Chains A and B, each alone.
Chain A
Amino acid sequence: MVIAARPVGVSGYGLVVSDALVQARGLRKSFGAFEAVRGIDVDVAPGEVFGFLGPNGAGKSSTMRMIACVSPRSAGTLSVLGMDPGSDGPRIRARIGVVPQLDNLDAELSVRENLEIYGRYFGLPRRHVREKATELLEFAQLTERAGDTVEELSGGMKRRLTIARSLVNDPELLLLDEPTTGLDPQARHLLWDRLYRLKREGVTQIVTTHYMDEAEQLCDRLVVMDGGVIAAEGAPAELIGRYSTREVLELRFDPEHRPSAAALERHADRVEELPDRFLLYTSDGERTQGDVVGAGFVPLSSLVRRSSLEDVFLRLTGRTLVD
């Protein structure tokens, strides 16, 4: 698949020349008095995998629904594939693929029929759809299960089928809302592999997730969202370099003999106190560990690890992602 850069018309602001497949300026979404998305700017370049990172309720899914043209924006501008979702919804949707947060496969149809019927919604000819379904079953490793009903599939298989279904129209842009939530580690790795193949074929992807390792694995570039706004933007490594140290020392103490964060502060660049442990940010974890033990602290356990996007998030928002 070849994706050519082309001029993009952004309604309301006159003609803006841009290479971006998706471009948002001051994008907002409100439901009554509640503002889910509070003015974000986003540019997604052709061929890249772009991530929205953030906890539940950060506004990721609302943003995705606006890009997928199934939720009208409340304010700001948005262009997808050079068109306005407000007026060109069907034409945009014809060229994108959507993997929703919860699988909404058709339980009354077989695995193969799910692909074929979905393809028919795009107005694709019956023969083309049949061949495409065979190809996608192969891609999703579901060829043997083609005749089964959806209900008989495992969670990972359903997820792969949903992704296969989103590819039935050879989309230029693929939207994945929390693609691996609820899957076991093996199923996640299989899925990541499939998404990586799509990237190599030049399919632009927008992924939301609240798994940091997933974002680091998949995304070329990402934004961290919190409370409806963008807290930071960049490549994963870049964000870690900007907002965290090289290594982190995690310490757990017996609740009865837990020291204060202030007491640990002089041994590290920065200390975060979590309900069950302390995080000590430092360039050399081993050395900090030695310092802490040498100062008379007796942790139940200690762990030195590389800094991750989780730490970036914690730094930016003062909260962990899973709470």
Chain B
Amino acid sequence: MAAPTVTVARSTGRAPTALGGVGRVVEHHWRWYRRNWRATAVSSILQPLLFLLAFGVGFGALVGSGPQAAAATGGVPYLVWLAPALLAMSAAQSAAFDSTYPILSGFKWQRIYLAMSAGPITGAQVGLGVLAWTGMKMFWSGAVYVVVIAIFGGVQGPGIIVSLLAALLTGLAVASLITAFAATVENEGNAFSALFRFVVIPMTLFSGTFFPVDRLPEWVQPVVWISPLWHGTEVARGAALGTWQLLPTLGHLAVLVGLLVVGSVLVARLFTRRLAT
């Protein structure tokens, strides 16, 4: 009998480029989303719509065009004044949701990040890919939201498009910071309920979304300044109403971009660290 011949298997041996790896991670989420987008429609579209109806329309009717309201909104209807801020708020809120439990699940329950990084994709690419995907989702639910606002008569001019971009920047800054935090959570996510109650909810309430921040007590003001949502709201509202001024706007943008850069670097580092062990 002849000696058995030995065959050695050869793999394809290919690896994506730095940006390509991020793209593959986005593609993974997109594949999932194509089948499951209806499930996320409630939180991304309906939730902001309900806030718009409750406060823009309902509360707006109560406020009417009374002198107290006019003093606060600068004379525009309450709905028009509120709409760009709600755009920023819903971006920040959905950023917070998408960056907590789903991230932990990727590491711990479904372990999809572990599966991704078992191949040639690096931990940093996984983290930045997840962040990019969150941003994309935020952008198109924001775009749908702009249409909804327009239907209810909350749009004054094309400036709302700039508001949408400001909202996206705000959402990404929030998402990058919270995603970085979520990458450090090891337990069942108990820390998230504290995060929502002590950071996310105060942020939505104390960022000038529903009323000008100068109506708040003096001692709350420092909380306002550190809130990324306040900076985003100022830019979004200024763009929609055409009331923005150059220097303050540049200042707000600088804060948001700064937070996004810090957050992204942290995401890349922390994902790398967690997926390497």
Contacts and interface: CB of A to CB of B under 8 A. Distances in A.
B271 to A, nearest CB: 22
Contacts of B187: 151
* Interface band, chain B: under 10
B190 to A, nearest CB: 9
A295 interface: no
Interface string A168-205: 00000000000000000000000000000000000000
B1 A257 contact: yes
B188 interface: yes
Nearest to B1: A298
Main secondary structure of the interface of A (DSSP, over half): loop
Contacts, number: 6
Nearest to B190: A108
Contact of B4 (A108, A151, A254): A254
Contacts of A94: none
B155 to A, nearest CB: 48
Interface residues of A, number: 6
A107 interface: yes
A255 to B, nearest CB: 10
Contacts of B188: 107-108
A207 to B, nearest CB: 31
Nearest to A300: B4
Interface string B182-199: 000001100000000000
A107 B188 CA distance: 9
A108 B189 CA distance: 12
Interface in A218-256: 254
Interface of B: 1, 4, 187-188
Interface of A: 107-108, 151, 254, 257, 298
6 contacts: A107-B188, A108-B188, A151-B187, A254-B4, A257-B1, A298-B1
Shortest Cβ-Cβ A-B pairs, 5 listed: A254-B4, A298-B1, A107-B188, A257-B1, A151-B187
